[in-house]
């Protein structure tokens, strides 16, 4: 499965109502650590079809970032049935994210 770019308009459908566990990556194109984490997030999307991988561009979707209390990026949240079950800030190795 490929990475889904999420906006406020489709957030509820793609994340909150998802039957799958969702890995939600808050990022920005100008962020060096975000660019380092990007390939890791994409490989998780390809290798783990049971996980829905979504990305939120904080420059375009500031309201969503604020809703999640994102102060630093990259910030990764894991949600199950719309509830946050884990979160991480900064670049982490793939095994640590999993």
Among candidate residues 80, 3, 77, the one with its CA nearest the CA of residue 44: 3
Has 34 been annotated as catalytic? yes
What angle (nearest 5°) sits at the alpha carbon of residue 84, between those of residues 44 and 9?
80
**Active-site option among 21, 31, 91, 97:** 31
* Terminal-to-terminal C-alpha distance of the chain: 16
Has 31 been annotated as catalytic? yes
**52 in Cβ contact with 4 (< 8 Å):** yes
In three-state secondary structure terms, 6 is: coil
Residue 34 CB neighbour total at 10 angstroms: 21
**Active-site option among 15, 24, 34, 65:** 34
Q: Catalytic residue positions?
A: 31, 34
């Amino acid at each position: 499965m490929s990475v889904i770019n999420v906006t406020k308009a489709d957030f509820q459908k793609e994340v909150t109502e998802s039957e799958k566990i969702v890995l939600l990556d808050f990022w920005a194109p100008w962020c060096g650590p975000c660019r380092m984490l990007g390939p890791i997030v994409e490989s998780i999307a390809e290798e783990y079809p049971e996980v829905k991988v979504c990305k939120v561009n904080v420059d375009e979707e500031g309201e969503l970032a604020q809703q999640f209390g994102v102060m630093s990026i990259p910030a990764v949240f894991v949600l199950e049935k719309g509830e946050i079950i884990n979160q991480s800030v900064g670049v982490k190795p793939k095994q640590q994210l999993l």
